[in-house]
Amino acid sequence: MEPKYIERLLGKYCKIVTKAPGEKRGTVKIGLLEDINYLENSVTIELNEGEDTVLVDNIIAIRLVR
Measured CA to CA, the distance from residue 66 to residue 2 in angstroms comes to 23
pTM value is 0.83
DSSP 8-state secondary structure symbol assigned to residue 19? -
Measured CA to CA, the distance from residue 29 to residue 18 in angstroms comes to 8
In this predicted structure, the answer to whether residue 54 has a pLDDT above a threshold of 90 is yes
Q: Taking the domains of the chain in order of start, what are their residue ranges?
A: 3-64
Q: What is the mean pLDDT of the chain?
A: 91
Q: What pLDDT does 1 receive?
A: 65
Q: Which of the four CATH numbers 3.40.50.720, 3.40.50.2300, 2.30.30.520, 3.50.30.50 does domain 3-64 have?
A: 2.30.30.520
Beta strands in 1-66 (DSSP E): 13-18, 27-37, 42-47, 50-55, 59-64
In this predicted structure, the answer to whether residue 7 has a pLDDT above a threshold of 90 is no
**Position 51 confidence tier, pLDDT thresholds 50, 70, 90:** very high
Residue 54 CB: number of other CB atoms within 10 A?
Answer: 18
pLDDT, average across residues 39-65:
93
